[in-house]
Amino acid sequence: MEDKLREMLKLYFIMGSNNCRKDPETVLKEAIKGGITLFQFREKGQGSLGGCEKKQLAVNLQRICKEAGIPFIVNDDIELALEVDADGVHIGQSDMSAGEARCLVGSKILGVSVHTLKEAEQAREMGADYFGVGPVFHTTTKEDALPASGVSFIRELRKNGYSIPIVGIGGITAENAGDVMSSGVDGVSVISFISNAESPKKAAMGLKENIMHKQNG
Ligand X SMILES: C=C1C=NC(C(F)(F)F)=NC1=N
Work out how close the CB of 148 gets to ligand TZP at its nearest, in angstroms, rounded to a whole number: 9
Work out how close the CB of 70 gets to ligand X at its nearest, in angstroms, rounded to a whole number: 14
42 catalytically annotated: yes
Work out how close the CB of 168 gets to ligand X at its nearest, in angstroms, rounded to a whole number: 8
Distance (Å, whole) CA 206 – CA 82: 33
Which of 59, 94, 60, 90 has its CA nearest to residue 77?
90
Helix (H, G, I), strand (E, B) or coil at 67: helix
Burial of 16 (0-12, 13-18, 19+ CB in 10 A): buried
Q: Is 153 annotated as a binding residue?
A: no
Other Cβ atoms closer than 10 A to 52: 8
> What Rg do the C-alpha atoms of the chain give, in angstroms?
16
Q: Which does 206 bind (CB under 5 to 8 A by kind): ligand TZP, Mg ion, ligand X, none?
A: none
Contact 39, 60 (CB under 8 A): no
Q: Which does 162 bind (CB under 5 to 8 A by kind): Mg ion, ligand X, ligand TZP, none?
A: none
Catalytic annotation, pick one of 6, 108, 113, 183: 113
Q: Which does 40 bind (CB under 5 to 8 A by kind): ligand X, Mg ion, ligand TZP, none?
A: ligand X
Catalytic annotation, pick one of 42, 102, 108, 208: 42
Burial of 115 (0-12, 13-18, 19+ CB in 10 A): middle
Residues forming the site for ligand X (CB under 6 A): 12, 14, 40, 42, 75, 90, 92, 111, 113, 132, 134, 167, 169, 189
- Catalytic annotation, residues: 42, 113, 142
Which residue ranges make up the site for ligand TZP (CB under 6 A)?
A: 134-135, 139, 141-142, 145, 169-172, 190-193
